[in-house]
A and B are shown apart, each in its own frame.
Chain A
Amino acid sequence: MALADRTTVRPPAAGPPPTGRRGPRLRRALAPYALISPTVLLLAVFLVVPVGSVVHYALQHHVVNEPYDDAFVGLGNFRAMLGDQRFWDSLAFSAKWVVAEVLLQLLLGLALALIVNETFVGRAMARALVFSPWAVSGVLTTSIWMLLYNPATGVFHYLSEIGVGNAGTSVLGNPDTVFGAAVVAELWRGVPFFAILILADLQSVPKELYEAASIDGAGRVRSFLHVTLPHLRDAIVLATLLRSVWEFNNVDLLYTLTNGGPAGATTSLPLYVAQLARKSYDFGYGSALTTAAFVILLFCSVLYLRLSKFGRQR
Chain B
Amino acid sequence: MTGLQHAPLDRTAPVESPAVTTATAVLPPAAVRRGERGSRFLRLFLPLGLYLVFTVVPFYWMLLFALRPAGSTSLLPWPLTLEHFGTVWNDMGFRVYFQNSVWIALLTLLFVTFFALMGGYALARFEFRGRRLFMLALLCTQFVPGAMMLIPLFNIFQTLDLINSRWSLIIAESTFQLPLAMILMSGFVRNVPVELEESAMVDGCGRIRAFLAVVLPLLRPGIVAVGSFAFIGSWNNFLFALMFLNDPELQTVPVGLQTTIGENTVDFGALAAGGVVAAVPVVLVFAVVQKYLVQGMSAGAVKG
* A183 at the B interface (CB under 8 A): no
Point out which of A35, A133, A148, A239 has the most chain B C-beta atoms below 10 A from its C-beta.
Answer: A35
Say yes or no: A196 contacts B297, CB within 8 Å: yes
Residue of B nearest to A198 (CB): B4
Residue interface mask B271-304, A partner, CB < 8 A = 1: 1100100110011011100110111111111100
Say yes or no: B152 contacts A50, CB within 8 Å: yes
| Residues on the A chain within 8 Å of B3, using CB | 2-3, 6, 234-235, 237-238, 310-311
A-B contact count (CB 8 A): 337
Say yes or no: A46 contacts B175, CB within 8 Å: yes
* A277 at the B interface (CB under 8 A): yes
Say yes or no: B278 contacts A227, CB within 8 Å: no
Say yes or no: A7 contacts B204, CB within 8 Å: no
Say yes or no: B55 contacts A293, CB within 8 Å: no
Residue interface mask B230-257, A partner, CB < 8 A = 1: 0010011111000000000000001001
A231-B147 contact, Cβ under 8 Å, with A128-B287, A222-B18: no
Say yes or no: A129 contacts B55, CB within 8 Å: yes
Closest Cβ of chain A to B12, distance in Å, is 9
Point out which of B136, B179, B290 has the most chain A C-beta atoms below 10 A from its C-beta.
Answer: B290
| Residues on the B chain within 8 Å of A209, using CB | 8, 13, 15
* A163 at the B interface (CB under 8 A): no
Residue interface mask A70-104, B partner, CB < 8 A = 1: 00000000000000000000000000000000000
| Residues on the A chain within 8 Å of B6, using CB | 201, 204, 231, 234
Residue interface mask A270-314, B partner, CB < 8 A = 1: 100110010000010011001001100110010000000011011
* B11 at the A interface (CB under 8 A): yes
A47-B175 contact, Cβ under 8 Å, with A200-B298, A204-B5: yes
Task: Report the Cα distance A48→B204, complex, angstroms.
Answer: 42
Say yes or no: B254 contacts A140, CB within 8 Å: yes
Residue of B nearest to A143 (CB): B275
Task: Report the Cα distance A209→B9, complex, angstroms.
Answer: 10
Say yes or no: B152 contacts A197, CB within 8 Å: no
- How big is the B interface, by class? 35 or more
Say yes or no: A49 contacts B290, CB within 8 Å: no
Task: Report the Cα distance A200→B21, complex, angstroms.
Answer: 31
Within 8 A of A (CB), among B173-189: 174-176, 178-180, 182-183, 187
Say yes or no: A54 contacts B7, CB within 8 Å: no
Say yes or no: B293 contacts A201, CB within 8 Å: no
Residue of A nearest to B228 (CB): A135
Closest Cβ of chain B to A143, distance in Å, is 5
| Residues on the B chain within 8 Å of A310, using CB | 3
From A40, A127, A133, A311, contact of B291 by CB (8 A): A127
- How big is the A interface, by class? 35 or more
* B56 at the A interface (CB under 8 A): yes
Residues of B participating in the A interface, judged by any CB pair closer than 8 Å: 1-11, 13-22, 24-25, 40, 44-45, 47-48, 51-52, 54-59, 61-62, 65, 75, 115, 118-119, 121-128, 131-132, 134-137, 139-149, 151-153, 155-156, 171-172, 174-176, 178-180, 182-183, 187, 190, 194, 197-198, 201-202, 204, 206-207, 232, 235-239, 254, 257-258, 268, 271-272, 275, 278-279, 282-283, 285-287, 290-291, 293-302
14 residue pairs bridging A and B, Cβ less than 8 Å apart: A7-B2, A7-B5, A29-B128, A38-B118, A46-B175, A135-B279, A201-B297, A203-B294, A204-B299, A216-B17, A216-B18, A218-B22, A226-B14, A235-B3
* Given contact pairs A155-B57, A216-B17, a sample of 8 additional A-B residue pairs in the complex whose CB atoms are under 8 Å apart: A51-B149, A130-B51, A140-B257, A201-B301, A217-B22, A235-B3, A239-B1, A273-B145
